[in-house]
């Protein structure tokens, strides 16, 4: 099965609404000829409707960086999957390591948010990854297996048709350090066989597995050359359209 690569930009807590729209418009101009690559940008929730409108009729889609699992209610400060979908998002990033690290996200809350995303028709991008300490103590696969199996607990096969998995070693996010080709290759192969074991051949074959962690124009070609790498989740290098386009054009 041929998987369309997905290059996704996580804009984190950067850019005001007008700044986000400007970058999105510049990027739309630069990537109008790009074919056979799905492009997604995830601005802040405040910018999401503005950016979604700005990229309507272009080949860029948008995503949110987080959602709450309930569809509505007395949950001050939260935003639901339905609200994000209505704002124009097609994707939602779930379980990013910064959310796990600073905001108490757990595999259990991740699982509820994936359910919420699917309920609202959003494509979930489930982020998983080990810390440096976990890698050095050879717990990488143990950690990833738990994040995947608990994050996707209780799902049946067909529900996961739109799932995207993002392997983001925590030690490579925003640090300038990238996992080397052998490390990425080994993990991505492992994740694909894990999906096969937990779900089905079909789920394993169709799920796009992105790599994230200091992806930049200088290393993207090598990373995208790895058989089981189906795209990239990019933080810092996605903030500037002139740089991000060179990643999209891997």
CB-closest chain residue to ligand PEP:
235
Length of the chain, please?
250
Q: Which stretch binds ligand PEP (CB under 6 A): 23-31, 71-79, 102-110, 227-235?
A: 227-235
Judged by beta carbon, residue 7 or residue 204, the one nearer ligand PEP is: 7
Q: Which stretch binds ligand PEP (CB under 6 A): 100-108, 111-119, 137-145, 234-242?
A: 234-242
Counting contacts by CB under 6 A, is residue 10 touching ligand PEP? yes
Judged by beta carbon, residue 147 or residue 214, the one nearer ligand PEP is: 214
* CB of residue 97 to ligand PEP, shortest distance in Å: 8
* CB of residue 166 to ligand PEP, shortest distance in Å: 7
Counting contacts by CB under 6 A, is residue 235 touching ligand PEP? yes
For residues 15-74, which are near ligand PEP according to CB under 6 A?
A: none
Active site residue 96: yes
- Please give the Cα distance from 245 to 250 (Å, whole number): 9
Active site residue 168: yes
Judged by beta carbon, residue 82 or residue 222, the one nearer ligand PEP is: 222
Tokens of 27: 């990027």
Q: Which of 105, 130, 134, 168 is catalytic?
A: 168
* CB of residue 200 to ligand PEP, shortest distance in Å: 28
For residues 153-192, which are near ligand PEP according to CB under 6 A?
A: 168, 173-174
Residue 180 neighbours by CB under 8 Å, 6+ apart: none
Counting contacts by CB under 6 A, is residue 234 touching ligand PEP? yes
* CB of residue 240 to ligand PEP, shortest distance in Å: 12
The pair phi, psi for residue 171, each rounded to 5°, is -70, -10
Q: Which of 56, 96, 98, 136 is catalytic?
A: 96
Helix pair 217-224, 241-248: axis angle to 10 deg: 20
Count of residues that interact with ligand PEP, criterion CB under 6 A: 13
* CB of residue 127 to ligand PEP, shortest distance in Å: 7
Give me the residues that bind ligand PEP (CB under 6 A), please.
10, 168, 173-174, 212-215, 233-237
The catalytic residue positions are: 96, 168
């Amino acid at each position: 099965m041929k998987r369309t690569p997905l290059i996704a930009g996580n804009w984190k807590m950067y850019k005001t609404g007008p700044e986000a729209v400007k970058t999105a418009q510049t990027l739309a101009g630069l990537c109008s000829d790009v074919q056979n690559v799905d492009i997604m940008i995830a601005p802040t929730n405040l910018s999401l409707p503005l950016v979604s409108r700005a990229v309507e009729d272009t080949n860029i889609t948008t995503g949110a960086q987080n959602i709450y699992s309930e569809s509505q209610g007395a949950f001050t400060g939260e935003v639901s999957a339905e609200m994000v979908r209505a704002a124009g998002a097609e994707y939602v990033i779930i379980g990013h390591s910064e959310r796990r690290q600073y905001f108490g996200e757990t595999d259990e809350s991740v699982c509820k948010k994936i359910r919420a995303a699917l309920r609202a028709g959003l494509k979930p991008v489930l982020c998983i990854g080990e810390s440096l300490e976990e890698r050095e103590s050879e717990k990488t696969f143990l950690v990833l297996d738990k994040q995947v199996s608990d994050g996707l607990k209780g799902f049946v096969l067909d529900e996961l048709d739109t799932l995207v998995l993002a392997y983001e070693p925590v030690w490579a996010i925003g640090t300038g350090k990238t996992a080397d080709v052998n490390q990425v290759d080994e993990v991505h192969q492992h994740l694909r066989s894990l999906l096969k074991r937990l779900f089905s051949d079909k789920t394993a074959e169709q799920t796009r597995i992105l790599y994230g962690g200091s992806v930049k124009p200088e290393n993207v070609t090598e990373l995208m050359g790895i058989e089981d790498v189906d795209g990239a989740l990019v933080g810092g290098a996605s903030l500037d359209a002139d740089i991000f386009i060179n990643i999209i054009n891997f």
